[in-house]
Amino acid sequence: MDPTVPTDDALPAKTAPAKHPFRKAVLRGLAVLAPPLLTILIFVWVINATFDYLFDPATSCLREAIVWFRADIRRDLETTDSADQIAEVDGVKYRRIRGHGFIPLYVYATVEENPGDPTPKIPKEYYRRYVDLEILKPYRTIPFFLALFLLVLYLLGRFMAAGIGRMFWNLFEQGVHRLPVVRNVYSSVKQVSDFLLSEREIQYTRVVALEYPRKGIWALGFVTGESMFEIAGVANEPVFSVLVCTSPAPMTGFTVTVAKSECVDLNLTVEQAFQFIISCGVVVPPQQIHEWKDGRLTPTPPGPATEPETIDVSPSAGEEDAEGAAREPQSLIPNP
């Protein structure tokens, strides 16, 4: 073989062209745009639902109350100007509304400048529009209803703290649980609300890894506290209550009781653990990024290059160390 002719092994490897570059670029752009867009859409949906189901009905009730209290509608008045349909009583001018009655002229003039849609046709509709234009302005109604809502929540909380309030609430829940369909929906909603709004908030003391649902499969969990006395007696060691959340919705999960020796403490914050779960393992915290080199596990934290600390996990370790590691899992992150 002629040594001057390059062989196939000596030829540079050809780089395969990227497949579907347009689709990859679109998906990459969607991945960038989706989080802020979905966040905005969720907030817009919450605000619109609040206005549609709380603010608008409350404003309508307040509008009707003001109209009932302040409406000055006259029926039998003699017009002083038949062409303009104007009548005057005690120095106040009134305007006839299409044969349905008389309203004050200032109310009529205000509404005619901005009648809205649909156009008012009877005296009460004129007054409703007048109340919207002059009294129920957004910069007044929104702070008013917000303060009123907070006041109602405060009074309801104080009432529930008293014994009689709790008694009435228990009677109410007993009545709800007797309704065949409503009780299922109410129980589910109550569990979610109690989980999110309960005064006894779940305190995640630390993030751990445990072999769940079987040996060899590792899952992230949040230690919520010490578990039951009888279980600790059977295990003959301390046991923890661990919440194992599901991906990508960590609002649900499983509560398991795990022996202390079966838990591996992780160098993670609660926020980083939630990011890892929600992203289905895509978002790995920087301090947990690692690589293997010659059978040795090397953490690779971001930042300037430093001399890494390695942990020997090669199979050539002694049998005594291997048996000890099997009895008690060791954390791969060195203690600070």
Give a yes or no: residue 242 inside a domain. Answer: yes
Give a yes or no: residue 83 inside a domain. Answer: no
Pairing of strands 218-226, 206-211: antiparallel
Q: Are residues 215 and 234 located together in one domain of the fold? A: yes
Tens of pLDDT along 268-326? 888 888 889 888 888 888 888 777 777 777 776 554 444 434 334 344 444 444 444 44
pLDDT score recorded for residue 179 = 87
Q: Are residues 241 and 257 located together in one domain of the fold? A: yes
Question: Does pLDDT of 22 surpass 50?
Answer: yes
Tell me the average pLDDT across 209-217.
90
Of 82-86, 143-147, 199-203, the one with minimum mean pLDDT is 199-203
Task: Identify the CA nearest to 228 among candidates 255, 191, 265.
Answer: 255
In whole angstroms, give the CA distance from residue 204 to residue 124.
58
Number of structural domains the chain divides into: 2
Per-residue pLDDT band at 195 (split at 50, 70, 90): low
pLDDT score recorded for residue 303 = 47
Q: Are residues 233 and 256 located together in one domain of the fold? A: yes
> Global pTM?
0.50
Q: Which residues contact 16 (CB under 8 A, 6 or more apart)?
A: none
| Contact present, 123 and 101 (Cβ < 8 Å) | yes
| Contact present, 85 and 95 (Cβ < 8 Å) | yes
Q: Are residues 293 and 327 located together in one domain of the fold? A: yes
CATH of the domain at 224: 2.30.30
In whole angstroms, give the CA distance from residue 77 to residue 69.
21
Range of the domain at 223: 203-283
Give a yes or no: residue 157 inside a domain. Answer: no
Query: What are the φ and ψ backbone dihedral angles of 255, each rounded to 5 degrees?
Result: -105, 120
Q: Are residues 301 and 279 located together in one domain of the fold? A: no
Of 111-125, 139-153, 183-197, 301-315, the one with minimum mean pLDDT is 301-315
Q: Are residues 208 and 275 located together in one domain of the fold? A: yes
Which tokens in the block code for residue 286? 């920087």
Give a yes or no: residue 29 inside a domain. Answer: no
Give a yes or no: residue 316 inside a domain. Answer: yes
